[in-house]
Structure 1
């Protein structure tokens, strides 16, 4: 039996199948009827955790916790072996251009294991809703929900792992690429007073190669080096899929210093650390971001640029030399000492 659309007079069996209108690296396909197809990603799940041997040093513990029941959103809690003092908390948002990614992907899982073990810190690695099914500001709304959950944890110390190990007076918001963009917007919302934190004190913001955009091409974008992970066409496509329909790359959620972006002069931002590789297509935009923050007169943004590194170097090679330097020399000092490496 066939059905006919009153508007078209064409039977359902005669209608052409939906076509692919956007294909993001074979990972996400947006079809003409609005549906989205996603490739299955390889994930690290709790059942995959190896059983430590009796004579091995205590490993980093990790588990998954639901922080938003409405959208069934989870975060992964990483806690290093217990010490005499409670540890700072690093809230971490993964990258992926707002369109792909999960804390359970091997590269993000490995990076957060290393962050927890070597900073050391309690790391909360969060998932959020992805575009194009959920365009921005959905991811930022989810970040607010996470901080509501964290605020409740600080008030009632509900999760025993956090009650045992987390110092809620030293919370750092962080992330890589699109996750770093989320971290920036979280810090702005906290600093402007629109996001209440209660007993949670945001002590700093650590942005790893933040994913910002803009209609004007920077020199490094125009040169568009052959990066392993991010090229100009891919970046433009992810913004098309992630931003509100019809928005340009100067939308405030993409360009923090765009023509319609709110001024940050009066926002009480915490200390900001920005890290990037000098072969990253976005390096000029990242340099400009740090300079513009400091130009407001009351912001302390420090920039660390790593020679020979492209976009995503910390998560692509978490055991690499550059990732080790970023962690041990830059991030550890920023989180535990309140200052970062000198700006390059």
Structure 2
């Protein structure tokens, strides 16, 4: 590592290319361009997409991805997806995520609902969890009401008995907490499974993998600390329940009621020890967990290296196929 690279790594704001403004907001870089949804009239495309308002007062919305079927042979599972970015970066419209979900909708196949949630520090946690539950409620309401049902969510297209929550990195954290909160929905709505891809959790005590990879190029330790500092409620530390799932919290007693979980990780990810601890905790509470850890790879590798994407999509496909729909 050269001197200039080392000096940048020492400044987490510079690594993330963000500026903290006097009013507490962030000036964010345009790391990834934004993609527009593909209308049904745009041919030839194998997957159509469109944006739908979620909560106008919060300026949140969802992007729905639907494989190009006039009517599928059987209704498709629904996957509500939460993007990564340490709770502070990126969008449901970020070009790499849009491209990945287009590919996923074809490969699984499934209807994907990508959620544009509010970012920290302007909106600290649990704002993202609240937005996630808004998205779950939106899907639930499509299932129980014909009055304002979206044309892409009709029973002949969408199988509401197979609704999954999925997220990568911070999105995995959001999916986990949204699933816990979904247990209390009234009227209820069953989540069939969780897909936690390299889920982003933390804690005050450093893990071996965090210390070993403190200078990681994707998620160095000081960047990790800064993102939690910006995302957690004011005054909270990294053993807060939003950060550390091992910590008893308001929903901790409901963990055993979670549906089957797929947890994925890589040996080159500083968070891998925490992800393995999450698996042990879930299994200890009686949750059925399918763990897929690969020694090769690093945090968010499937977004940076297209050759790694098929393994991710295969894991998602196989997990969904293995989960009993309850029908």
For Structure 1 versus Structure 2, the TM-score category normalised by the shorter chain is 0.7 to 0.9
Deviation of 1:25 (Å): 3.2
Query: Match for residue 9 of structure 1?
Result: none
* TM-aligned CA distance change 1:327 to 1:264, over 3 Å: farther
Superposed displacement of residue 239, structure 1 = 0.2
- Please list, as runs of the form range in 1=range in 2, the aligned pairs for 1:174-189 lying within 5 A after superposition: 174-189=166-181
CA distance in 2, matches of 1:207, 1:38: 26
Aligned position for 1:126: 115
CA–CA separation in structure 1 for the residues paired with 2:166 and 2:187:
16
Cα separation, 2, equivalents of 1:143 and 1:270 = 17
Contact 1:24 1:237 in 2 (8 A): no
Aligned residue in 1 for 2:8 = none
State whether structure 2 residue 70 is matched by structure 1 residue 78.
no
* TM-score after normalising by structure 2: 0.87
Match of 1:166 in 2: 158
Q: Residues 281-304 of structure 1: CA distance to partner in whole angstroms, max 9, x if unpaired?
A: 0001100100111112x2111210
Change (3 A) 1:24 1:258: farther
TM-fit CA distance, 1:47: 6.9
Measure how far apart 1:229 and its partner are: 2.0
Which of 302, 307, 319 in structure 2 is aligned with 1:334?
A: 319
TM-superposed CA distance for 1:26, in Å, is 4.8
Match of residue 300 from structure 1: 288
Task: Show structure 2 runs of 5+ residues with no match.
Answer: 1-10
CA distance in 2, matches of 1:240, 1:71: 23
Task: Write the distance in 2 (CA, Å) between the matches of 1:69 and 1:46.
Answer: 19
- 1:45 corresponds in structure 2 to 36
**How far does residue 36 in structure 1 lie from its aligned partner after superposition?**
2.9
Q: Deviations over 1:99-125 (max 9, x none)?
A: 001011111111111111101110001
Q: Does the CA contact (< 8 Å) of 2:39 and 2:48 recur in 1?
A: no
The 1:149–1:287 alpha-carbon spacing in structure 2 relative to 1, beyond 3 Å, is same
The Cα offsets for residues 7-42 of structure 1, whole Å up to 9 and x where unpaired, read as xxxxxxxxxxxxxx9836354321234343222451
Matches within 5 A, 1:144-159: 144-157=133-146, 158-159=149-150
Determine the C-alpha separation between the residues in 2 that align with 1:228 and 1:86. Answer: 42
Q: Which residue number in structure 1 is paired with residue 226 of structure 2?
A: 237
Q: What secondary structure is seen at the aligned counterpart in 2 of 1:303?
A: strand
3-state SS of 1:311 partner = coil
Aligned ranges for residues 1-344 of structure 1 at < 5 Å? 23=13, 25-40=15-30, 41-46=32-37, 51-53=42-44, 59-82=46-69, 83-157=72-146, 158-163=149-154, 164-191=156-183, 193=184, 195-196=185-186, 198=188, 200-224=189-213, 226-258=215-247, 262-264=251-253, 267-296=256-285, 298-317=286-305, 319-320=306-307, 322-328=308-314, 330-338=315-323
C-alpha deviation, 1:271, in angstroms: 0.2
Structure number with bigger Rg: 1
1:260, 1:155 → 2: CA distance? 31
Residues 261-317 of structure 1: CA deviation (Å, up to 9, x unaligned): 753466411001100111100001100100111112x21112101221100122223
Matches of 1:326 and 1:334 in 2, distance apart?
11
Q: Distance in 1 between matches of 2:253 and 2:14?
A: 33
Quickly say closer, same or farther: Cα 1:122–1:197, change in 2 above 3 A. farther
Deviations 1:35-93 (A, max 9, x none): 4322245101137999434xxxx511111111111112111100112221110001000
CA distance in 2, matches of 1:314, 1:278: 14
Preserved CA contact (<8 Å) 2:256 2:282: no
Would you say the 8 A contact 2:125–2:231 is kept in 1?
yes
Q: How many equivalent pairs are there?
A: 308
Output the CA distance in 2 between the equivalents of 1:326 and 1:60.
19
CA contact (8 A) 2:38 2:49 kept: no
